[in-house]
Amino acid sequence: MLADYIDKAMQHAHIEQIEDGTYYGSIPDFQGVWSNAESEEASRQELREVLEGWILLQIADHTPLDGMSLEVGRAV
């Protein structure tokens, strides 16, 4: 279920090349979740890892996830 949530959130990721030639990534509504890497793919992978860590930290701290509301189906 965590992987599904991350996949859904990553569909909203924004990756752009910035002035120094690196790629900056972020996901709207997930404050503090961002990446910066030498390539677009590396930035996307780093963003995914940062998002996963952010989610796990929220869970460990018993903090409600305040990112976007994502509908994730349950396996039957």
Predicted local confidence at residue 36, as pLDDT: 98
Give CA–CA dist 61/9, Å, rounded: 21
One digit per residue, pLDDT tens: the chain, 76 residues?
Answer: 789 889 999 999 999 999 999 999 999 989 899 999 999 999 999 999 999 999 998 888 877 775 555 554 555 5
Backbone torsions φ then ψ of 11, nearest 5 degrees = -65, -20
Predicted local confidence at residue 73, as pLDDT: 52
CATH 3.40.50.2300 for domain 2-60, yes or no, is no
Is residue 16 a contact partner of residue 24, using CB atoms and an 8 Å limit? yes
Angle between helices 40-60 and 2-10 (to 10 degrees): 130
Predicted local confidence at residue 64, as pLDDT: 73
